[in-house]
Chains A and B, each alone.
Chain A
């Protein structure tokens, strides 16, 4: 039986590895590097990096206080709030895109002129990536020893000081892991972006959108962009693992839809 399981495992791992490896083997490294010089690829890289940076800033600035509140206070509607935070995780990206249009489109609930702008990309990325950060952040804050918080209070620390000098530093590596996950998800975002922001080179065409626009015209450019995204994803995965080893996530995340 052990042999059978080993064979199955080998097949499974090969299945997971093959698409990634294939990207790098299909054309020579020289071709990959050259195609990355293509304007479509370069413009997509700039758009992706800019929108990702802004989106993650939004996620951290809004998500950190939210996660802290959810982790440290018990209030009515808390489990509802937690479910809401996780919602984008289970929503198909295309549905997220439609939702964003329905909410912020010109004929949407809150009529704005955001659709088709780079800000729309930022919003779409923030929407789908936020749950990755907030979920991890809540667990990280919950993992901060409550006795340390008590000690800080008896030493005269007001709520802000407890947050900034105790909770935040002690949760930091967990927050970092969450941010890396969020970043990875955001970089790969496609469905919501293409719906809500459209696809226009230099403005809204991110790396994944560029792959989609190019694959039928120029497969090599699409491959090169794909290789770049693999490299990014791998780096982020390493970052998550390294940060997580600093911080063991407790399993006492409050009950919610997916856990």
Chain B
């Protein structure tokens, strides 16, 4: 009897297993996960960090109607030693800072660019040294001290612990980060999938999400 396969955005790595330990989880960039599902990967549940990818799949008839289950906000993180002496997001305009962000097309990458546009800080993008394919890699490079700064979700900071320092970002600039999930039409375990979705949306699930720092719709 094979396990339920849950494909979920990388930022859900810490919280989803806490809601249900049983399934087999595949975490990664939401765009790559969507691609794999389009190619026929056997996902029973797909949880994306952006409505874009679930909506696309739904529009193609490849999954059920998406449901919002959480929200998030972006933060700026720097390594604990803060080698570039960054005090606020505006310092990112300074030349020579090693900034790591998500790649365009990956939810965190698109959100970051939206945020920077709203802050009139698109020039900071010239400091980008690497476009990562999921948010965990951004966290990792900053936590290792290899990058000077990176944009990640608020929920990614706690798992990184003392290795990073976070800076809150102006609320008015925050993009709307909506996490939506759906059940692919080719799912193998319809009952288990439905149950998992119910768990995420239940009071217990919502409490877990909230404890991890997610917002609730």
Contact = CB atoms under 8 A, between A and B. Distances in A.
A200 B29 contact: no
A51 interface: no
Interface string A207-226: 00000110111010000000
Contact of A213 (B34, B131, B145): B131
A106 B83 contact: yes
Contact of B100 (A198, A205, A219): A198
B131 A201 contact: yes
A199 B29 CA distance: 15
B187 interface: no
Contacts, number: 56
B98 A116 contact: yes
Interface in B96-110: 98, 100, 103-105
B35 interface: yes
Contacts of A213: 103, 131, 133
Given A216-B105, A217-B105, A115 B128 contact: no
Nearest to B35: A216
Contacts of A212: 133
A134 interface: no
A199 B103 CA distance: 9
B128 A105 contact: no
Interface string A99-125: 001000111000000011100000000
Q: On chain A, which size bracket covers the interface?
A: 20 to 34
Given A198-B130, A198-B132, A201-B131, A107 B100 contact: no
B105 A200 contact: no
B93 to A, nearest CB: 19
Interface in A185-213: 197-201, 203-205, 212-213
A150 B129 CA distance: 55
Interface in A205-256: 205, 212-213, 215-217, 219
A203 B126 CA distance: 12
B156 interface: no
B35 A215 contact: yes
A219 B31 CA distance: 12
Nearest to B53: A216
Interface string A116-154: 110000000000000000000000000000000000000
Contact of B146 (A116, A200, A203, A205): A116
Contacts of A199: 103, 130-133
B206 interface: no
A204 B105 contact: no
A253 B111 CA distance: 55
B146 A106 contact: yes
B145 A106 contact: yes
A107 B146 contact: yes
Given A107-B144, A116-B98, A199-B103, A216 B32 contact: yes
B141 interface: yes
Contacts of A115: 98, 146
Contacts of A204: 129-130
A241 B132 CA distance: 38
Contacts of A116: 98, 129-130, 146-147
Contacts of B132: 198-199
Interface of A: 101, 105-107, 115-117, 197-201, 203-205, 212-213, 215-217, 219
Given A107-B144, A200-B129, A201-B131, 13 more contacts: A105-B145, A106-B146, A107-B145, A116-B129, A116-B130, A198-B130, A198-B131, A199-B132, A200-B128, A200-B131, A213-B103, A217-B31, A219-B35
